[in-house]
Amino acid sequence: MRAIRNTERVLKNKGVDRLLEIERERGKSLKIEDIHDQVAGVYPKVMIDGDMDAGAWSCGMVAGLIHDIPTVKELIDRIMADAERLILERLAGLIGVESRAALKVA
């Protein structure tokens, strides 16, 4: 949306592909009305209806770090395992324990 001075980082999907196609066709004569369907009312379509291809929706750079979509259980299990590992490693460092097994409560 550079032609209308409204750039943003968006997640690539079919709606964005269509938006880019329209931008290429219109060039510098692009107007917001030309892309209205790809940018207006997208968030409810994505977040409520689950239509991931609804149009352009903003995302941060972190979107590039997503490599899988785990179940809620898998995600919580990962978080808990990471938390336990971090706590044990830091505790071991604080008290000078060489083995993580030494920190496990029987």
From the first residue on, what is the mean pLDDT of each consecutive set of 10 residues in the chain (106 residues)? 65 83 84 79 80 78 83 96 90 70 59
- In the prediction, which pLDDT does 102 show? 64
- In the prediction, which pLDDT does 100 show? 58
Cα within 13 Å of Cα(71), Cβ side = 3
Q: Cα separations (Å) of 89 from 33, 68, 81, 99? A: 56, 26, 12, 9
The DSSP result for 50-101, as a single string, is --TTSS--B--GGGGG------HHHHHHHHHHHHHHHHHHHHHHHHT-S-GG
- In the prediction, which pLDDT does 82 show? 94
Distance (Å, rounded) from C-alpha 74 to C-alpha 32?
42
Distance (Å, rounded) from C-alpha 60 to C-alpha 34?
25
| Contact (CB, 8 A) for 15 and 21 | no
| Contact (CB, 8 A) for 54 and 15 | yes
